[in-house]
Chains A and B, each alone.
Chain A
Amino acid sequence: QKEVEQNSGPLSVPEGAIASLNCTYSDRGSQSFFWYRQYSGKSPELIMFIYSNGDKEDGRFTAQLNKASQYVSLLIRDSQPSDSATYLCAVNSGGFKTIFGAGTRLFVKA
């Protein structure tokens, strides 16, 4: 069974700090990696995707992928209270099947 693991949290960080969210996956054949943000009672929203090893930056968000370690992370710089949400990691193994982690709850304290 292919798996995607995330620490459920909650992860609490002060406003302005860097929030680091981590995700590991079991399928070495995985090719596409995604981070979603889901506010309570709302739909998931795609915020980052990464296909290659290394870092990908978009505004305050940086996704990091290490395929050798089967590890993908999301860094949120200058965290704001509005970043408080559940962050879902998802992995696609080259077809169209997508496996999600259970999510990490993030709280940013003002």
Chain B
Amino acid sequence: EAQVTQNPRYLITVTGKKLTVTCSQNMNHEYMSWYRQDPGLGLRQIYYSMNVEVTDKGDVPEGYKVSRKEKRNFPLILESPSPNQTSLYFCASSSWDRAGETQYFGPGTRLLVL
């Protein structure tokens, strides 16, 4: 079954305590992306990766880091979380072929930074 998994699904932490949200896909997709979703703002892209070791900033990269050492994994790292990073985070993976685009989102990670 095609799947994007994220862990943890829920996390409460305190300001400044480093955390990592993992994302893994089983579809051999080259493209992966992280988004945050806040009420009234829709989805905003944080970082994306076109392939292993190739990443680039999205619209709201400040305060986040990513890495892509393996094709299946794309972790999101918050080195020093702050309350304004409280949000719902989604990881997504995509591929393109002649039929068009295939994309899957993970189930989301709800983060609360106190």
Inter-chain contacts of B90 with A (CB < 8 A)? 43-44
Minimum distance in angstroms from B68 CB to a CB of chain A: 13
- Determine if A43 and B31 form an interchain contact, defined as CB atoms under 8 angstroms apart: no
Minimum distance in angstroms from A61 CB to a CB of chain B: 14
Chain B residues near A (Cβ < 8 Å): 31, 33, 35, 40-45, 48, 50, 56, 58-59, 90, 100-103, 105-108
Q: CA of A97 to CA of B43 in the docked complex: distance in angstroms?
A: 12
User: In the complex, how many residues of chain A place their beta carbon closer than 8 angstroms to a beta carbon of chain B?
Assistant: 18
Interface presence of A26 (CB below 8 A): no
Minimum distance in angstroms from A44 CB to a CB of chain B: 5
- Determine if A102 and B42 form an interchain contact, defined as CB atoms under 8 angstroms apart: yes
How many A-B pairs have beta carbons closer than 8 Å: the answer is 46
Bits for A1-36, please: 1 = Cβ < 8 Å to B, else 0: 000000010000000000000000000000010100
Q: CA of A96 to CA of B34 in the docked complex: distance in angstroms?
A: 12
Query: Of A43, A46, A97, A100, which one neighbours B42 at CB under 8 angstroms?
Result: A100
Q: CA of A96 to CA of B106 in the docked complex: distance in angstroms?
A: 18
Chain A residues near B (Cβ < 8 Å): 8, 32, 34, 43-46, 49, 88, 90, 96-103
Q: CA of A102 to CA of B44 in the docked complex: distance in angstroms?
A: 9
Inter-chain contacts of A43 with B (CB < 8 A)? 90, 105-108
Q: CA of A107 to CA of B41 in the docked complex: distance in angstroms?
A: 20
Q: CA of A43 to CA of B31 in the docked complex: distance in angstroms?
A: 18
- Determine if A100 and B44 form an interchain contact, defined as CB atoms under 8 angstroms apart: yes
Query: Of A44, A96, A101, A102, which one neighbours B56 at CB under 8 angstroms?
Result: A96
Inter-chain contacts of A49 with B (CB < 8 A)? 100-101
Minimum distance in angstroms from A21 CB to a CB of chain B: 14
